[in-house]
């Protein structure tokens, strides 16, 4: 019965989130966890609500808690969702929250397989979270060597202006592109005029 009540509150959280009522969505997710502290989906809903409330500290904490529960249960089917959430939470942060280093360390220690990391990278790229991809690049030796990211499009990376001039060096961006291409991202996804895209990037 308590599980069913937790599900209802989590469904309410999802509905409120879709309406843009992020504080209410967060509170509903916490109410869900009050009824069932092991209901993983409620951690996911709370994490995304905290992202929208611009609180990366709490967002990372909720995604990390959910990921720990998944890992303990040996059910890794949703792991990519939670790892993606952890990195999304800090994508725009210049100073990482105190909850991040522990979560960051765990995702590399836990030895998630190539399919999970493929899903993480593809989702981050799809959402334009390139700074998070740069973080992964810095830890590529800790990642499986057989990751394939054929669905990654580089178009957004070459079009976005917020990545460049904010502390990232052009060399880092070039290394990111080379890394993604080495894992199967298609050069053609940069756009119709590859040279023009490179020139625009260099000018920025």
CA 100 to chain centre: 13
- Return the SS3 of 168: strand
Tally helices (H) and strands (E) across the chain.
11, 0
CA distances from 33 to 1, 22, 38 (A): 14, 17, 7
pLDDT of 133: 95
pLDDT of 166: 53
State which residues of the chain have pLDDT below 50. none
Q: 43-62, pLDDT tens digit by residue?
A: 999 999 999 999 999 999 99
CATH class of 1-112: mainly alpha
From the number of C-beta atoms within 10 Å of its C-beta (0-12, 13-18, 19+), residue 54 rates as exposed
- CA dist 180 and 43 (Å) reads 30
Length of the chain: 204
Residues of the chain with CATH 1.25.40.10: 1-112
């Amino acid at each position: 019965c308590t599980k069913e009540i937790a599900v209802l509150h989590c469904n309410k959280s999802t509905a409120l989130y879709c309406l843009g009522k992020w504080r209410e969505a967060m509170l509903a997710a916490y109410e869900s966890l009050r009824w069932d502290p092991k209901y993983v989906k409620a951690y996911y809903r709370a994490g995304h609500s905290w992202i929208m409330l611009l609180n990366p500290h709490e967002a990372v904490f909720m995604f990390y808690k959910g990921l720990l529960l998944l890992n303990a249960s040996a059910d890794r089917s949703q792991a990519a969702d939670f790892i993606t959430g952890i990195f999304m939470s800090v994508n725009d942060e210049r100073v990482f929250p105190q909850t991040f280093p522990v979560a960051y360390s765990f995702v590399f220690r836990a030895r998630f397989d190539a399919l999970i990391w493929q899903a993480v990278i593809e989702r981050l790229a799809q959402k334009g979270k390139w700074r998070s991809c740069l973080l992964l690049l810095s830890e590529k030796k800790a990642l499986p060597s057989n990751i394939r990211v054929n669905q990654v499009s580089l178009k957004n990376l070459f079009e976005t202006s917020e990545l460049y001039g904010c502390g990232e060096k052009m060399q880092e961006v070039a290394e990111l592109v080379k890394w993604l291409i080495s894992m199967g991202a298609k050069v053609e996804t940069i756009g119709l005029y590859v040279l023009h895209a490179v020139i625009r990037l260099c000018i920025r």
